[in-house]
Amino acid sequence: MQHVLEKAQAAKAASSTLACMGSLKKNEALNAMAQALRDSAAYILAENEKDLQAGRDKGTSKAMLDRLALSEERIEGMADGLESVARLDDPVGEVTHTVLRPNGLSIGSKRVPLGVVGIIYEARPNVTSDAAGLCLKTGNATVLRGGSDAIHSNIAVVNVLRKAIASAGLPEDAIQLIDDTSREAATYMMGLNGVIDVLIPRGGAGLIQSVVKNATVPVIETGTGNCHVYIDENADLAMGLNIINNAKTSRPSVCNAAESLLVHEAAAQTFLPMVQKKLNGVELRGCAKTQAIIDVKPATDEDYYTEYNDYILAVKVVGSLNEAISHINKYGTKHSEAIVTESYQCAETFLERIDAAAVYVNASTRFTDGNEFGFGAEIGISTQKLHARGPMGLKELTTIKYIIRGNGQVR
């Protein structure tokens, strides 16, 4: 695994140069990267076609091929993304909470890059440029390890980005692609404590669990979202219908889509038939009380644990707000949870007692997103509690160090 180690060490060496670099140079590099993607579109598309052909040859699903496919338009989207990251404020270098201690020491907290960020991801080649751009903006070097399905595309994109970085006078080693797509290479990378500072897995639950289980490098767990919408006794049912419809059907494959609907028993008789009618393309699976009101398949305990990422919705009638909260805290993945209610007390209780990254009153769970939160960009959505929770923007790709200025103090 010498080749993985060498790339990670090269990234680490580059990270110390990047860490001291002002925004102007970093932004120049990001703009050069964007232009280089546009200029090299033909090369990237030709390499992408090799991945697509390999996918078709082994019978990859149409949905998967669509994720993998690049086009002039998608490359333009990647370039646009890099340019908009260049326009964001750079969080690095800010010094906050500076205090003058009684002994005369001045102690401040300075925002600095993490160092080397490892990203382990699956099929989408656009993650390659997105992640590299966000890391570069925050002064971090990146070690990328994409899936084998996109290997030709990833190699092409990284080649183009590295040349552009060098042309802007920054170290090209700031972006590294591990082109060994074996499981061993990924596992080896997960153990590079002291070289890689943090690992961010992006992909399905299987990938994320594998990284959480195998990594000794600190991990930020992202993305699994078993999200709920709870319709309270005091809900505006028209609003509730609009919210569950949006949360379930506007984009079922994403992590902030709803997977379960909970309905207070006082509202169920009226509300469930409304849901069945409005969400007519969605397969409903319900508890016994739900089945007594509308004709749906039964929901098992397993259903309530499942992130369908599909046009399927588990439904449960609950006897109280407390039951709803307990259900969500038990079955949810601490991503995004919503209540629809006109009751002040129920709203505040829900906000307080739900243990999740984002808790909503009278709005769709679909808003849990870096752009919707006003961060301008996003490297992922953290579902853990350490370091970052919810959408992670530029600030979450940094850490702090204390800088202490004295004039001879001893203790």
- Which residues in this chain contact a copy of itself in the complex, by CB under 8 A? 16, 19-20, 99, 101, 105, 107, 114-115, 193, 197-198, 212-213, 216, 218-220, 236, 239, 242-243, 245-247, 250, 329, 347, 351-353, 355-364, 366-368, 372-374, 384-387, 389-390, 399-411
Residue 319 CB, shortest distance to a copy of itself, in Å, is 19
Q: Which is nearer to a copy of itself, 60 or 384 (CB)?
A: 384
Q: Which is nearer to a copy of itself, 185 or 239 (CB)?
A: 239
Residue-level length of the chain: 411
Q: Which is nearer to a copy of itself, 5 or 386 (CB)?
A: 386
Q: Which is nearer to a copy of itself, 122 or 197 (CB)?
A: 197
Phi, psi torsion values for 347, nearest 5 degrees: -60, -50
The angle formed by the CA atoms of residues 341, 297 and 231, to the nearest 5 degrees, is 0
Residue 231 CB, shortest distance to a copy of itself, in Å, is 13
Sign, Cα dihedral of 325, 296, 281, 268: negative
Residue 243 CB, shortest distance to a copy of itself, in Å, is 6
Residue 288 CB, shortest distance to a copy of itself, in Å, is 27
The angle formed by the CA atoms of residues 268, 243 and 305, to the nearest 5 degrees, is 70
Write b or e for each residue in 12-43: b if 16 or more Cβ atoms lie within 10 A of its Cβ, otherwise e: bebbeebbebebeebbbbbbbbbebbeebbee
Alpha-carbon distance of 84 to 33, in angstroms, equals 12
Q: Which of 397, 395, 406 is nearest to 94 (CA)?
A: 395
Q: Which is nearer to a copy of itself, 218 or 273 (CB)?
A: 218
CA distances from 273 to 164, 255, 284, 295 (A): 57, 26, 11, 9
Q: Which is nearer to a copy of itself, 100 or 292 (CB)?
A: 100
DSSP code string of 187-247: HHHTT-TTT--EEEEES-HHHHHHHHHH--S-B--B----EEEEE-TT--HHHHHHHHHHH
Residue 167 CB, shortest distance to a copy of itself, in Å, is 25
Residue 255 CB, shortest distance to a copy of itself, in Å, is 14
Residue 356 CB, shortest distance to a copy of itself, in Å, is 6
Q: Which is nearer to a copy of itself, 8 or 287 (CB)?
A: 8
The angle formed by the CA atoms of residues 99, 138 and 395, to the nearest 5 degrees, is 55
Residue 52 CB, shortest distance to a copy of itself, in Å, is 31
**Two structure tokens written together for 146:** 């994409």
Alpha-carbon distance of 129 to 157, in angstroms, equals 7
Residue 45 CB, shortest distance to a copy of itself, in Å, is 31
Query: Do the strands 106-113 and 95-100 form a parallel or antiparallel pair, or are they unpaired?
Result: antiparallel
Q: Which helix (H) or strand (E) holds 380?
A: strand 380-382
Alpha-carbon distance of 349 to 398, in angstroms, equals 33
Q: Which is nearer to a copy of itself, 167 or 320 (CB)?
A: 320
Q: Which is nearer to a copy of itself, 302 or 352 (CB)?
A: 352
Residue 265 one-letter amino acid: E
Residue 104 CB, shortest distance to a copy of itself, in Å, is 9
Q: Which is nearer to a copy of itself, 288 or 403 (CB)?
A: 403
